[in-house]
C-alpha cells in the first residue's frame, strides 16, 4: 500500500532525472545560441569590411554602412557576452540588456542622421518619418540611460562586470 508520503518521494526521484535532462537541454540550446551569434557577428564584420574596402564610389554612404555594421557586431557580441555570463554564473542581470538597448538606439540615431545628411532628395513624408525615427531613437537612449543611472544608484548590485 502506497501512502501519500511515498508518492512524492518516488516522483521526486524521477523529477531529478528529468530536471537534469531539461537543464542539459537548456544549456545546450544556450551554447548553440552563443555559437550562432558569434558566427553571425563574424559574417557581418567580414561583410562590412569587404563592402567598405570595395565600394569607394559612394564613400560617405560606405562609411555610414561600415559604422552601422560595426555597431551591429558590437550589439551581437554584447548579447553573446550576456548569455555566456548567464551560463557561467546562472544569474541574469538587467544592466547588459540596457547597454545593448543604448547601443541599438545609438545605431538607429546614426542611421537616421546619415539618411538625413546623405539623401539629396527626400520627400516631405520621408523627411518627417526620419525625424520621428530620430526623435524616438533619442528618447529610447535617454530612457535607457536613466534606467542605467537608477540601477547604478539603487544599490541592487546589478553592476557586476
Determine which helix (DSSP H) or strand (DSSP E) holds 22, and give its type and residue range.
Answer: helix 6-54
Residue 22's Cβ-count burial label (10 Å; 0-12, 13-18, 19+) is exposed
Q: Of 116, 120, 141, 140, nearest to 64 (Cα)?
A: 116
pLDDT tens for each residue of 15-56: 778 888 888 898 888 889 889 999 999 999 999 999 888 887
Per the listing, cell 544599490 goes with 155
Q: From CA 8, how far away is CA 15, in angstroms rounded?
A: 10
pLDDT in tens, 72-126: 898 888 888 887 777 777 666 778 888 888 888 888 888 888 777 777 777 888 8
Reported pTM: 0.63
- Tell me the domain boundaries of the chain: 6-154
Amino acid at each position: 500500500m502506497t501512502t501519500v508520503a511515498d508518492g512524492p518521494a518516488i516522483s521526486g526521484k524521477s523529477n531529478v532525472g528529468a530536471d537534469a535532462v531539461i537543464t542539459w537541454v537548456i544549456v545546450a540550446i544556450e551554447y548553440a545560441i552563443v555559437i550562432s551569434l558569434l558566427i553571425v557577428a563574424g559574417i557581418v564584420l567580414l561583410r562590412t569590411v569587404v563592402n567598405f574596402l570595395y565600394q569607394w564610389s559612394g564613400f560617405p554612404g560606405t562609411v555610414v554602412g561600415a559604422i552601422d555594421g560595426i555597431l551591429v557586431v558590437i550589439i551581437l557580441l554584447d548579447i553573446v557576452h550576456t548569455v555566456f555570463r548567464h551560463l557561467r554564473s546562472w544569474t541574469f542581470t538587467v544592466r547588459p540588456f540596457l547597454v545593448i538597448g543604448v547601443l541599438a538606439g545609438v545605431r538607429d540615431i546614426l542611421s537616421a542622421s546619415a539618411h538625413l545628411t546623405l539623401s539629396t532628395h527626400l520627400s516631405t513624408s520621408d523627411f518627417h518619418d526620419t525625424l520621428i525615427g530620430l526623435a524616438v531613437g533619442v528618447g529610447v537612449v535617454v530612457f535607457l540611460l536613466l534606467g542605467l543611472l537608477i540601477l547604478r544608484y539603487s544599490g541592487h548590485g546589478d553592476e557586476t562586470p
